[in-house]
Structure 1
Amino acid sequence: MTANKLWRFTSLLSVIGIGLASYLYYSYLAPVSPSACYISQSVNCEPVTKGNIAEVFGVSVALIGLIGYIIILISSIIKNKKLLLGMTAFGMVFCLRLTILEIFVEKVICPVCVACQTVILLAFAAAVILNRDKKGIPLKETPLT
């Protein structure tokens, strides 16, 4: 896969992440949570949008995710490898923390969060490939078409 395709892939992933995080942030702000994410008592988004783990230092976790995905999109557009790697690494740690709290504290799985975790994992993998050591095999740069 060429570097340009990886940049496009991370841009696409970040747009998907923006959509998912926007849904969670809307659910956080809405007086009554939308039921689209509610599958069962143990599979739903409510603890992440309305529960004890909905905020970090008074800021919505969904808003943090939304801002993160926007920065990832910007770093993909301007092709800033280090910013992309840093933001996706932060996203991985943030998602891991949230997953641990979901499973072990709230005893619930948030399906939208699982989708966000998949997106950030793929974006992180792309960032690692884009940031390969110069001693490694360089990615082939091709002009945008």
Structure 2
Amino acid sequence: MADVHPHAGALGQRLVAHPIAARLSREFGLPRVLYDGLTVPFADGSFDVVLLAFVLHHCPDPLAVLREARRVSRGRVLVLEDGDEAHPPRRLERVTDALINLEIGHPHSERSRFDWLVLFDAGGLGVTHERGFTSCFGGLPGRHRLYVLDVL
């Protein structure tokens, strides 16, 4: 389990995400590594599958993170991101995301489905399966897409 050090304005990461990750690490005996956000501290092909859940839209350089995920996987990367088939998240959804994550000044690079596909291709990954789904947090619906990617 790898995570980045909290961004100064990412209170949700400090107060919610990191404590949950630490708990899951302990409960399931998974090593947890904090890293610089640039080079994942694992050897090439260390994992069968890499999951990036709601990560890329928060990265200053999502392509670099995607390439690192590809490097440490044995060929499969799952990406779960905000947005629907045609549109990136709208303003209300972006504000809601920032409030849920208690973020101030954190990068947000939400994309449409087409823009994600372009990014995946640039990272040497092709979509083998995808599906949309809706979640609900605090009574507000969220639109998401899961992309199953394999090395091209």
Question: Do the two structures share a fold, i.e. TM-score over 0.5?
Answer: no
Q: TM-score scaled to structure 2, two decimals?
A: 0.26
Which structure has greater strand proportion?
A: 2
Q: Higher relative contact order by CA 8 Å / sep ≥ 6: 1 or 2?
A: 1
Who wins on radius of gyration, i.e. which is larger?
1
Greater helix share, structure number: 1
